[in-house]
Amino acid sequence: MNVATAKYAGKPVLVKSCYNYGADAHRILAAVGLALVLHSCFPICGLIVMDLIRGLSVRHRFLSSELPPRVFEDVRRAIGILHDVGLVFGDLRRPNIMVIGSGEKLHAMLVDFDWARPAGTATYPPETNNTFVLKR
């Protein structure tokens, strides 16, 4: 997977190469503010273009400490929204949760929808690092 930054309509964006991407799940969560805006997804050439934000992953912001209630609730809400439409996120680990803001404005967004699929079809590769599995 390669990642780069660029400009799209005058705004900074993240460009990622990925041939299997859960664009439907990404767009559903972006519509309710629980994921970054997905501008384009070109599965044939494997390019995804999304907003670029400044934030830290839960892995870096909270290390191994317990998640603040607001972050945990945002994640729970995002997963519930996906489950309600028959999708699974597939890679719910601390590096795939971005935390933006602080204090009362603290909130979480999911990133990395590579394994987001319809329930029953997602298969998580056994060789993937599961060191940072999400725990409350």
SS (H, E, C) 8-77: ECCEEEEEEECCCCCHHHHHHHHCCCCECCEEEEECCCCEEEEECCCCEEHHHHCCCCCCCHHHHHHHHH
Segment 39-62 mean pLDDT: 81
8 Å CB contact between 27 and 50: no
Q: Which helix (H) or strand (E) holds 97?
A: strand 97-100
Q: pTM for the whole thing?
A: 0.82
- At residue 33 the predicted structure's pLDDT band, cuts being 50, 70 and 90, is very high
Signed CA dihedral, 46, 51, 55, 59: sign only: negative
- Locus of tokens 């934000």: 53
pLDDT in tens, 67-98: 888 999 999 999 999 999 999 998 888 889 99
Task: Say if CB 78 and CB 36 are below 8 A apart.
Answer: no
Categorize the per-residue pLDDT at 131 as very low, low, confident or very high, splitting at 50, 70 and 90: low
Q: Is the pLDDT of residue 17 over 90?
A: no
33 in the Ramachandran plot: left (φ > 0), alpha (ψ -120 to 50) or beta? left
Domains and CATH numbers, the chain: 3-118 (1.10.510.10)
Structure-token pair, residue 20: 């299997």
Q: How confident is the model at residue 102 (pLDDT cuts 50, 70, 90)?
A: confident
